[in-house]
Amino acid sequence: MELHFFKYQGTGNDFVIIDNRQHIFPKNDTKLISKLCDRRFGIGGDGLMLLENDNMSDFKMVYFNADGKEGSMCGNGGRCLVAFAHYLGIFKEETTFNAVDGLHFATISGKQVKLKMIDVDKIHQKPNHSFLDTGSPHHVQLVDELEKFDVPKEGKKLRYGIYGESGSNINFVEQKAEDAFRVRTYERGVEDETYSCGTGVTAAALTMFELGKTAAKQIHIETIGGDLIIYFEKHNGKYTNIFLEGPAEQVFKGTITCSI
């Protein structure tokens, strides 16, 4: 059959998006999803998302990692899906949608999408790293000379070494200024470094504040694929009103022939 798709990217984290409001897509076909995400045999992407109707909100986000398995929350994916919903005319300036970790509010202005993330009430501190859930599980670790760091190798080691089969995303961080950091992420489900990870940079920003590396509640993060800003508040040990802001854009659209 011919499948219509859209390709989006948010700071270089790229996604295949399908309008599934008419339930045309075979969600349980892990092989098909991983093939569509394959950069040689398919369209190519770090993940695939379906936009579906939702009873409680403007739309529903269903997210799959490039390996074809349903993932946990994806911050850059969420920002891209908001841009796609805006393109479809589902909303004008602000929206609320449903994702695997609950409802998300978001706004769009030009190419900039600002997405509200779930509250975070626990950051587990270990001697050399921290671990927290920002919708997806994240390991956050400070390193020197991030530019030269072997992220795929070290990320893979930690992802399986500490977290086992279910795994975690692994973020390596270097401070650039009082309120600015550079982050590189090894993503589980992609099993490689991606150009940016939204829930990952959110986790990195909160951890840097928690560790006292910064007093800023508006943190700039540089990734391989571009810049993101994280805003938050902290009350009684809990992080609330967390927003992830950055560009998200449609790259191309088309049809692909697939056997289903």
Structure tokens at 225: 């694929």
How far is residue 97's CA from residue 69's CA, in Å, rounded to a whole number?
21
**Residue 170 CB contacts under 8 Å (≥ 6 apart), including other chains:** 138, 139, 141, 154, 155, 158, 159, 185, 186
> Is 65 known to sit in a ligand binding site?
yes
Taking the alpha carbons at both ends of the chain, their separation in whole angstroms is 7
Residue 19 burial (C-beta neighbours within 10 Å; 0-12, 13-18, 19+): middle
Nearer residue to ligand API within complex by CB, 18 or 53: 18
Min CB(208)–ligand API separation in Å:
17
Give the C-alpha separation, 38 to 256, whole Å.
13
Nearer to ligand API, 42 or 167 (CB): 167
Catalytic sites, residue numbers: 74, 197
The response to whether 187 counts as a known ligand-binding position is: yes
Answer whether 104's CB lies under 8 Å from 77's CB: no
- List the alpha helices (DSSP H) in the chain: 30-37, 75-87, 151-161, 198-210
The residue ranges that bind ligand API (CB under 6 A) are: 13, 65, 71-72, 74-77, 136, 169, 187-189, 197-200
Q: Which is nearer to ligand API, 68 or 75 (CB)?
A: 75
> Is 254 assigned a ligand-binding role in the annotation?
no
Q: Least distance to ligand API from the beta carbon of 38, Å?
A: 16
Q: Distances from the Cα of 189 to the Cαs of 45, 64, 151, 203, in angstroms?
A: 12, 9, 15, 18
- Following DSSP, what letter does each residue of 187-251 receive, concatenated? ETTTTEEES--HHHHHHHHHHHHHTTS---SEEEEEETTEEEEEEEEEETTEEEEEEEEEE-EEE
- Decide whether 53 or 249 has the Cβ nearer to ligand API: 249
Q: Is 199 annotated as a binding residue?
A: yes
Is 214 flagged in the annotation as binding? Answer: no
- Pick the closer one to ligand API by CB: 120 or 197: 197
Residues tagged in the binding site annotation for substrate:
13, 65, 75-76, 169, 187-188, 198-199
